[in-house]
Amino acid sequence: MEENSFVFTDGKDPKMIEAYEKARETFKYFWREQSWENRRIIPGLDLACVKASFSQEDPGTGEITVEHMWINEIDFDGDTVSGFLINNPNDLTNIQAGDYFEIPLNEISDWLFAITPAVKKPTGLSKLFSSTENPLPKTYGGFTIHKMRADMPEDERMEHDDAWQLDFGDFNEILVVNEQKEKPENLTEHPMSRNMEGEFVKFLQEYPDELTHADDNGLTLLHKETIAGNLTSVKIALEAGADKNVKSKNGKTALDYAQQLKWEHIIPVLQG
């Protein structure tokens, strides 16, 4: 990602603050997509990054300079978002591109991922009338970007989008999951979670120890599938004997994370 007009934003505008809040509320969809991207052999995302604020105090005047910038290579443990700074700042001198950061979820200011839509190959006579141009990657999230796009005159907005070679769509209708309009059920559960059901059952049969293994944050498989909002995987893990009372190093059960992230479709399963 190159430095450009949507790397830095005004954090004092009420509508921008509203965009920050929407990004935090919906970040779970970003992480759900990223968690499946981490399992793909062939990458499906063209872009995936999170925006946060970074600051520096002038020792002479006490004035604080703030820049909102993007990080990538995102990880998430249910509480904290981590990643590496993509760009060098405009004004800050205490950070640089490539620096690693851990940021509480309630302090991020935006998220964005992009997916190039699948295109059906034309057949028969339709080949004569079809376009050979590939579609632009479609963006999801990007609440602060859409706020700025809404403030732009149409010609400036078109120039902005063309420069980025991304399909940002309608700033009045910000999508958060792939094929949200065509398949609204994707809001409830990622299609890969449903499609991989058989493989996940087989995996746990072959590697039952995965149910009790915990990572450095104390997160078990059940924790991780819950954080990612994967209902089918959560059900399978429970049926295979996963202990829903195990707590992470932050002292949270899978149910705690489901409630914290408002995965309403998973909460009843973990309460049962």
pLDDT of residue 2: 38
Q: What pLDDT is stored for residue 11 in this prediction?
A: 54
Between CA 19 and CA 145 the distance in angstroms is 9
CATH 1.25.40.20 at 188-271, yes or no: yes
Helix (H) or strand (E) holding 253: none
Q: Which long-range contacts (CB under 8 A, 24 or more apart) does 233-239 make?
A: 233/193, 233/196, 233/200, 234/266, 234/269, 234/270, 235/269, 236/197, 236/200, 236/201, 236/204, 237/204, 237/211, 238/269, 238/270
Closest CA to 201 of 237, 247, 159, 252: 237
pLDDT at 6: 38
Residues of the chain with CATH 1.25.40.20: 188-271
Give Cα separations from 170 to 87, 155, 236, 269 (angstroms): 27, 14, 38, 36
pLDDT digit string (tens) for the chain, length 272 residues: 333 333 444 557 899 999 999 999 999 999 999 999 999 999 999 999 999 999 999 888 889 999 999 999 999 999 999 999 998 999 999 999 999 999 999 999 999 999 999 766 655 555 555 555 789 999 999 999 999 999 999 999 999 999 999 999 999 999 999 999 999 999 999 999 999 999 999 999 999 999 999 999 999 999 999 999 999 999 999 999 999 999 999 999 999 999 999 999 999 999 98
